[in-house]
Amino acid sequence: MEEGLWFHAPNKPVHLMNPIVLAYIGDAVFEMMVRQYLISRSNHKLHHLHRQATQFVSAKAQRILLEKWQPILTEEEADIVRRGRNAKSGTSPKNADPADYQQATALECLIGYLYYGKQVSRLRELMAIAFDE
């Protein structure tokens, strides 16, 4: 059986995980997917890749993307987004509007939830919207 990138499973079911923990892994998964997308395109100069990546991974960009996804989220996904948005991370954003940061955390929580839930086709569907494909 193909295991993908799930070398270490979480120690509890995904629906019981802390939303901040889901956002933690979701941040990494989202960035990896953005980087894979950018590398699939033609311009591979490092400074261009970095500049393009920031257009997707900033708190503001993630807030805008979540707004784009909102109408197509399932009830379960919308609940995960609410949990992520309402979670207290214990840190304040350094270079982002607090409201944008809260929404970005919600998006990352959803990504983490889908990732650990092994909902690859749904992740691809949402990321295709992110990349306007």
Q: What is the CATH number of the domain that holds 110?
A: 1.10.1520.10
Q: Name the catalytic one among 27, 79, 97, 100.
A: 27
Asked if residue 3 has pLDDT above 60, the reply is no
In a domain, 76, yes or no: yes
Instruction: Spell out the alpha helix ranges (H) of the chain.
Output: 19-39, 46-57, 59-69, 75-86, 98-116, 120-130
**Structural domain count of the chain:** 1
Provide the pLDDT for residue 4: 63
Q: Is the residue at 80 inside a domain? A: yes
Residue 132 appears among annotated catalytic residues:
no
In this prediction, residue 1 has a pLDDT band, given cuts at 50, 70 and 90, of very low
Nearest to 103, CA basis, from 61, 63, 56, 58: 63
Task: Give the residue numbers spanning the domain of 109.
Answer: 14-130
pTM of the model as a whole: 0.90
Q: Is residue 6 part of a domain?
A: no
Q: Give 7-66 pLDDT, tens digit per residue.
A: 788 889 999 999 999 999 999 999 999 999 999 988 778 888 888 898 899 999 999 999
Instruction: Give the separation between CA 98 and CA 39, rounded to whole angstroms.
Output: 31
Residue 8 lies in a domain: no
Q: Are 22 and 119 in contact (CB under 8 A)?
A: no
Residue 4 belongs to some domain of the structure: no
